[in-house]
Amino acid sequence: MSTSMRFGLFAVVMMAGAAQAAGQIDRLKAGDLQCYGPNTARRTCAALSGYDFSRPVIMNRAEVLISTDPVGTMTTVSPVTIKGGAICGVPSKRDIDTAVITSQGQVLTEAQAAGVKAQIWGLASARAGKELCTTYAPSGDGYTTRYTLDGKPDITPSTTVILVGPKDGYRVAP
């Protein structure tokens, strides 16, 4: 599992400059999704992230590629906040415990997923309880990410992100 995939779950939060943030947030409120690591020819993403703004607490639904062979994904639903145009989240064990894990398109039972979740938590536990934010710098037709953890630059590698519609046919796959 690559470093970017290991932390992809926790890196699907957003922060941008005032104008870019307002435009992205408006599109996300309208239902667009963030496609991380896109392959536009195959319409695939390393992660797809969407937001539910209908409640007092904004919820982020993220599906992340965690294995390429066999293809495996993890889907989480986590609370996020907007701070000065940024959407930030605080990773927690609950995020992993309540995640849905799939392998080759089949949802794993809790017993089957336990080992995968333990491995992911082992990689992510050092970030638990710390605020993780992502900045999005305009780049071509999309954005390039930069991350902060508790307000300090983070080691998570930059990723290309594009906004896609839910009916555009994008999916999480290698």
pLDDT tens digits, one per residue of 92-135: 999 999 999 999 999 999 999 999 999 999 999 999 999 999 88
* Cis previous bond, 79, omega within 30: no
The residue written with tokens 């995020």 in the block is 95
What's the pLDDT at 35?
98
How many helices (H) and strands (E) the chain has is answered by 4, 13
What type of residue sits at position 33?
A: L
Q: What is the pTM of this model?
A: 0.86
- Total domains, the chain: 1
pLDDT tens digits, one per residue of 22-75: 678 889 999 999 999 999 999 999 999 999 999 999 999 999 999 999 999 999
* Residue-range definition of the domain harbouring residue 28: 3-172
What type of residue sits at position 165?
A: G
pLDDT tens digits, one per residue of 4-19: 343 443 334 333 344 4
